[in-house]
Amino acid sequence: MTVAIQVHHPVAIAQVMVNFAARHGVDAGTCLIGTEISEMQLRDPELLISREQEMRLIENLMLALPDVPALGFELGLQYNVATFGAWGFVMRISRNLREAIRSALRYLPLSTAYCQLSEFSDQDEFGVSADPDSIPPHLRQFLLERDTATAINLLSELGLSGVRMHRLEFQGHRPAHAARIESLCGIAPQYGSTRNALVLRRQDAETPLPLYDAHLVRLLEDQCRAQLERRQVAGLTGQVRQLLLGPAGLTASIEDLARQMAMAPRSLRRRLEAEGTSFRQLVESERRQLASRLLDGTEMKIDELALQLGYGDTASFTRAFRRWFDQSPGEYRKRPDREPRRDD
């Protein structure tokens, strides 16, 4: 069985919720109760927050605004392509909406989505279905409507004014705020459906997008893969990363880690493969990221840095570094765009 991977979200996601609450008269302090997020941290572009912190913020928002109809849906409409960085922009420069959605689903943990999303299509229609069953029951409807509205807003932005949603479907009974949802998105939801789904006409989904750039798509997808690796905090992949950066160190072998995790090395390899990675890839990824940070942020000598990263000699590290960055460590450190080191 594959262990579920949990991914931290940038605090900008929380900032959107706090700004939304402020427009309804709720202060930031009320939103952040119990989250261990400070108002100052909301402005930190590098800070990541956990699923638990985000859900606590959502609970606070729901408690503070119990009388706002379709609260989750209205919140979802606050998120746009720019909110999500590389994940959003890779959709914007995709060939068409269909490919944009497929790219989005490949890197879905980089979005705000808590529902399990999947695509479907037939001869006439293309769409995305949402399964909220993994969400705690008291947040399920809120987050289903938030994720749905976010998807609607992104599709509208990507398709500019030329593409309209064909149908909006929800399972379950029609809620009291159904009319509010219609007024917010311009289409009447259908209830009692067999699925929760956004449906487009297939010809609309395959209409070329104006900003398509195949080369830039590849670059941004590389960024998405790298971000996803950095944000993984659970599952076996996350456990191995934590051991490599902590007690085991980057010199550890797969046998060393398997022993610490009370597993057979063969089982560890197999389970990492099930999560789409390998021990060698994880070690390589951590060495690459740590090397760039140490070269940018310290004056550590190259031979010392090689030992720190677990290489037996400087030549092996230099060869690896050239493979990663197409230049030597010394050239990387001297590059013109390097940020100046700060002495704290």
- Could you please report the per-residue DSSP string of 107-171? TGGGSS--SEEEEEE-SSEEEEEEE-TTS-HHHHHHHHHHHHHHHHHHHHHHTTTS----EEE-S
Q: Which of 6-20, 191-205, 220-234 has the highest mean pLDDT?
A: 191-205
At 162 the pLDDT is: 62
**Residues 98-138: tens digit of each pLDDT:** 999 999 999 988 888 999 999 999 999 999 999 999 888 99
Confidence of residue 1 (pLDDT cuts 50, 70, 90): very low
Helix (H, G, I), strand (E, B) or coil at 11: coil
Give all domains of the chain, ordered by start, each with its CATH number: 1-68 (no CATH), 75-213 (no CATH), 234-333 (1.10.10.60)
- Pick the more confident residue, 292 or 93: 93
Above 90 in pLDDT, residue 178?
yes
Q: What is the Cα–Cα distance from 328 to 20, expressed in whole angstroms?
A: 47
Average pLDDT over residues 222-243: 76
Task: Calculate the average pLDDT of the chain.
Answer: 87
- Pick the more confident residue, 147 or 259: 147
At 2 the pLDDT is: 35
Above 70 in pLDDT, residue 163?
no
Long-range CB pairs of 133-138, under 8 A, 24+ apart, other chains included: 136/55, 138/59
Identify which of 94, 122, 43 has the alpha carbon closest to the alpha carbon of residue 220.
94
Burial tier of 99 (Cβ tally within 10 Å: 0-12, 13-18, 19+): middle
Whole-angstrom Cα Rg for the chain: 23
Average pLDDT over residues 173-199: 95
pTM for this structure?
0.68
At 237 the pLDDT is: 78
Tokens of residue 307, six digits: 């030992």
Q: What is the Cα–Cα distance from 279 to 321, expressed in whole angstroms?
A: 19
Burial 104-140 (b: 16+ CB within 10 A, else e): beebbbbbbbbbebeeeeeeebbbbbbebeebeeebb
**Residues 22-54: tens digit of each pLDDT:** 999 999 999 999 988 889 888 887 777 878 889
CB contact at 8 A, 57 and 139: no
Above 60 in pLDDT, residue 233?
no
Please state, in angstroms and as integers, the Cα–Cα distance from residue 139 to each residue in 9, 28, 59, 275, following that order: 18, 20, 8, 27
Burial 46-65 (b: 16+ CB within 10 A, else e): ebebbeebbbbbbbbbeebb
Above 70 in pLDDT, residue 83?
yes
Q: What is the Cα–Cα distance from 221 to 316, expressed in whole angstroms?
A: 29
